[in-house]
């Protein structure tokens, strides 16, 4: 869904403050999915906004600083405040972090990669901002889930993202078969990720658990020079060499008949 032109009109501001035409907001700023020039995956207006803000909430402060260094900042990095968010961060702490919004100061929210608050603990921050009636502004940038779904050729009307499958091999096989049954019944694309060093094991598990006519898409290193996306049936995948997925961010998608 494209935003109306006025939704993207953010005039330059000083010291992290919003423009006179927009209320202070929690800005949801996407981060790159891998090693690639920022102009490839983030619009210039969003890069400029990221460089202006001097208050952030992030999953990892070190990763956030690397992102901001790539963007270029109006202030020295050491003068930018970055609050480190984890799944265990208490609501009271988040309320304190959001307090500057009521004083007219914008705050940026970033993830480790991709869009904040999507399969990401940043959703807790966004939820609290809404509870307080504060403005939330999502900005355009890369989402591995949407990019992978776009490129897969699988059903883009009905889909579900499951995050990680179980690590235990037997439990993982049962879960994959369960998702496959649901996919066939609902004509719904199933999406999952894996820790990059376990990608090869996940690929092998998918080939062993799913039916021969189920279509599987492997979307590797999206938006980078190593980007590679293929969709084949399980039977077709079994006739090809396994792709190189070792330590490369990968999204797996499948659709059963």
Tell the CATH topology of 26-138: Cobalt-precorrin-4 Transmethylase; domain 1 (3.40.1010)
pLDDT for res 85: 96
CB 189 within 8 A of CB 158: yes
What the block records as the tokens of 213 is: 């006519």
Domain 144-255, CATH homologous superfamily name and number: Tetrapyrrole methylase, C-terminal domain (3.30.950.10)
Q: Where are the domains of the chain?
A: 26-138, 144-255
Going by C-beta distance under 8 Å and a sequence separation of 6 or more, which residues neighbour residue 99? Answer: none
The neighbouring-strand residues paired with 190 are: 160, 254
Percent of the chain with pLDDT over 70: 92
Q: Is the pLDDT of residue 168 over 90?
A: yes
Q: Is the pLDDT of residue 21 over 70?
A: no
- Among 2-6, 74-78, 133-137, whose mean pLDDT is lowest? 2-6
Q: Which residue is listed with tokens 């009905």?
A: 158
User: Which tens digits make up the pLDDT trace of 42-90?
Assistant: 999 999 999 999 999 999 999 999 999 999 999 999 999 999 999 899 9
Helices (H), 187-230: 199-209
pLDDT for res 22: 80
Strand order in the sheet with 107-110: 81-84, 55-58, 107-110, 25-28, 135-138
What the block records as the tokens of 84 is: 């480190």
**Which of 11, 39, 16 lies closest to 27, judged by CA?**
16
Q: Is the pLDDT of residue 10 over 90?
A: no
**What does the DSSP 8-state code read for residue 19?**
P
Q: Is the pLDDT of residue 256 over 50?
A: yes
pLDDT for res 54: 96
Long-range interactions of 80-83: CB distance < 8 A, separation 24+: 80/53, 80/54, 80/55, 80/56, 81/54, 81/55, 81/56, 82/56, 82/57, 82/58, 83/56, 83/57, 83/58
CA distance 161 to 144: 11
Q: Which residues of 120-129 are buried (b: 16+ CB within 10 A; e: fewer)?
A: bbbebbbebb
The CA-atom distances, in angstroms, between 175 and each of 72, 119, 145, 168, 215 are: 44, 19, 20, 10, 17
Number of Cα atoms under 13 Å in the Cβ half of residue 182: 15
pLDDT for res 13: 41
User: Which tens digits make up the pLDDT trace of 93-134?
Assistant: 999 999 999 999 999 999 999 999 998 999 999 999 999 999
Tell me the Ramachandran region of residue 187: left when phi exceeds 0, alpha when psi lies from -120 to 50, beta otherwise. left
Topology match between the domains 26-138 and 144-255: no
Q: Is the pLDDT of residue 12 over 90?
A: no
User: Which tens digits make up the pLDDT trace of 194-236?
Assistant: 999 999 999 999 999 999 999 999 999 999 999 999 999 999 9
């Amino acid at each position: 869904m494209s935003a109306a032109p006025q939704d993207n009109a953010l005039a330059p501001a000083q010291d992290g403050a919003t423009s006179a035409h927009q209320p202070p907001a929690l800005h949801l700023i996407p981060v790159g999915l891998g090693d690639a020039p920022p102009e490839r995956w983030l619009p210039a207006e969003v890069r400029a906004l990221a460089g202006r803000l001097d208050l952030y909430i992030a999953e990892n402060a070190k990763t956030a600083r690397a992102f901001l260094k790539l963007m270029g900042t109006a202030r020295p990095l050491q003068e930018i405040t970055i609050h480190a968010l984890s799944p265990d961060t208490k609501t009271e702490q988040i309320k304190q972090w959001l307090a500057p919004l009521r004083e007219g100061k914008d705050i940026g929210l970033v993830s480790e990669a991709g869009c904040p608050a999507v399969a990401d603990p940043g959703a807790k921050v966004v939820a609290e901002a809404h509870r307080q009636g504060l403005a939330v502004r999502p900005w355009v940038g890369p989402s591995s889930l949407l990019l992978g779904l776009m490129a897969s050729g699988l059903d883009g009307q009905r889909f579900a993202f499951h995050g990680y499958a179980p690590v235990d091999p037997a439990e993982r096989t049962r879960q994959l078969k369960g998702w496959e049954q649901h996919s066939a019944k609902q004509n719904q694309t199933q999406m999952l990720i894996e820790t990059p060093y376990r990608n090869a094991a996940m690929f092998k598990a998918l080939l062993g658990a799913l039916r021969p006519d189920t279509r599987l898409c492997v979307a590797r290193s999206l938006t980078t020079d190593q980007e590679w996306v293929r969709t084949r049936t399980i039977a077709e995948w079994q006739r090809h060499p396994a792709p190189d997925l070792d330590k490369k961010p990968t999204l797996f998608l499948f659709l059963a008949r």
